[in-house]
Structure 1
Amino acid sequence: MQIAYIDGRRLRRALTAACQWAREQRSELNRINVFPVPDGDTGTNLALTVQAITDHLARGDQQVVDFLP
């Protein structure tokens, strides 16, 4: 089934799934982190950033993309 439109609910679910995937890949991203400095924290930084996005999205229930929190 091909999706022909996107509303607030679909976009929120897609963003939440992408954020979950990024959090799950944190260790691997830390492992391969070599640019610009091999400090091994890129995965952690990304995981914290996407967690903030997920938390923000969870606060709203808008159905229209224009009004996503």
Structure 2
Amino acid sequence: MAEENQVKLHGIWASPYVKRVEMVLKFKAIPCEYVEEDLRNKSQLLLQYNPVHKKVSVLIHNGKPIAE
């Protein structure tokens, strides 16, 4: 059951867009795994989930990405 509702957020600490998503997830009491990205050395997961723009923030729910 927990694997069905898995939520991950890829972002950087200084992004107001990432902070906005974090605040909403906390407000709605949705557990989330936060993945800090290094924009100079982007991870393969970030490039896989947002291949067009290659930017953060990316919210992943059950393996389906929602970019920016």
For normalisation by structure 1, the TM-score amounts to: 0.32
For normalisation by structure 2, the TM-score amounts to: 0.33
